[in-house]
Structure 1
Amino acid sequence: MPDPQSLDECVSIQQWLQREHLPLASPRPPAAVHVSLYCVGKSARIPEGVIAAARQAGTAIEACQFELVFDHIITFLLPQDNAIVLAGNGGRELWQLHVQIAIEMHRLGADANLNPNFQPHTTLLYDKDVVPRIALRRPVVLAAREFVLLHNRRGQADYEELGRWPLHARG
């Protein structure tokens, strides 16, 4: 989840995109802006056993804090509305966190949804149109100090928080 300053930057970019490129786009509410890390499941009702495994996996993760740099806007093509996302290089630490979660989920008997094409991003808008890659003048730097298990309740703008775990300070 972005800190307040990073969230303000994300919302400013979102508003600029809507004003300059996608006037009819549906913006993500600020409370729903987050960096996608790992998909536990895509069904409308995630089984309790999978949620329990994800919570156990979160508790088992040992990772250090790091920073993410998002320096461009891209479009993820989706069946309904496309996702207009803030993207960048998540770096080795984010990839390692993604892999650690997959390993823990597998160890706990759940699907290990390791995504070899994992693209660090935060969704800003949804729209039928496609935005070509736009480089940002100034990158958005997000401090990863924790990770959160969120449940995306279909048809609702917000997420239900199911767990939260701190990342360790470097030192």
Structure 2
Amino acid sequence: MPIRQTQPETRQLDLLGGSIASTELHRLFFALMPDDTTRARLAAAAEALRASHSGLRARWINPSRYHATLHFLGDHAALRPTLVDGAIAAADKIHAAPFAWTLDNASSFRGREPPCVLRGGEVPTPMEQLWQALRHALALAGQAGHLERNFTPHVTLAYSHGTMLEPAAIAPVTWQVTDFVLVHNVVGQGSYQILGRWRMADS
């Protein structure tokens, strides 16, 4: 059952076609957001990595921004209501069961600023099913433009300045996933805004 949050200011929503040009980028994505206990354990894992890789020059992410992306819906010059409404309509169709996800290793992805991430040795079947169901619903809603073909769930802890972490085991962090959210963020500004939250329930 979705829990709707307050929409962004109308002034932001109505930028398309307006007379005042904007350089803002509005990012929209579905994600898993950790509860406070899990967030604290992820932050502790980040501190342990930071201590054991003292030579790693990196931009460490504030724990308040920890998340695992399910589907990225693009960066937009304005957050159009039709875009948000379509994403919410797709999520409303999803029936998913809660699951436990254990993150037990740290590594890096390639990139200009290689992300330092936590991953799990296994992707729980309900997690894969959630990703697939949401992907299908978004495609039917005409929002397939940014959807990835593959799913590599992870939590990004930092962006390094060129150095990549060698894969290494960490003290496992088990995350009890009970909901997923639709997130809006103005790139480079402020905190995440939750536009909708969908609880998971066993059938």
Q: Shared topology, TM-score over 0.5? A: yes
Aligned residue identity for 2:37: Q
Distance in 2 (alpha carbons) for counterparts of 1:103 and 1:126: 31
User: 1:47-58 maps to which residues of 2 (within 5 A)?
Assistant: 47-58=80-91
Instruction: State the identity %.
Output: 28
- 2:47 alignment partner in structure 1: 15
CA distance 1:106–1:116, shift in 2 (3 Å): closer
- 1:132 alignment partner in structure 2: 166
Larger Rg: 2
Please identify, of 105-114 and 3-12, the stretch whose mean Cα deviation from structure 2 is larger: 105-114
CA distance 1:95–1:44, shift in 2 (3 Å): farther
Please identify, of 153-162 and 117-126, the stretch whose mean Cα deviation from structure 2 is larger: 153-162
TM-score (norm 2): 0.75
TM-score (norm 1): 0.88
Q: Which runs of 4+ in 1 moved over 6 A?
A: none
One of 158, 161, 164 as aligned partner of 2:194: 161
Distance in 2 (alpha carbons) for counterparts of 1:135 and 1:60: 37
Contact kept, 8 Å, 1:44 with 1:154, in 2: the verdict is no
> What root-mean-square deviation, in Å, do the aligned CA atoms of Structure 1 and Structure 2 show?
1.9
Distance in 2 (alpha carbons) for counterparts of 1:92 and 1:115: 18
Matched, 1:25 2:82: no
User: 1:1-171 maps to which residues of 2 (within 5 A)?
Assistant: 1-21=33-53, 23-43=56-76, 45=78, 47-79=80-112, 81-88=113-120, 89-111=122-144, 113-128=146-161, 129-136=163-170, 138-156=171-189, 158-168=191-201, 170=202
Contact kept, 8 Å, 1:72 with 1:86, in 2: the verdict is yes
In structure 1, stretches of 5+ residues that fail to align are none
Count of residues in correspondence between the two structures: 168
Distance in 2 (alpha carbons) for counterparts of 1:75 and 1:45: 32
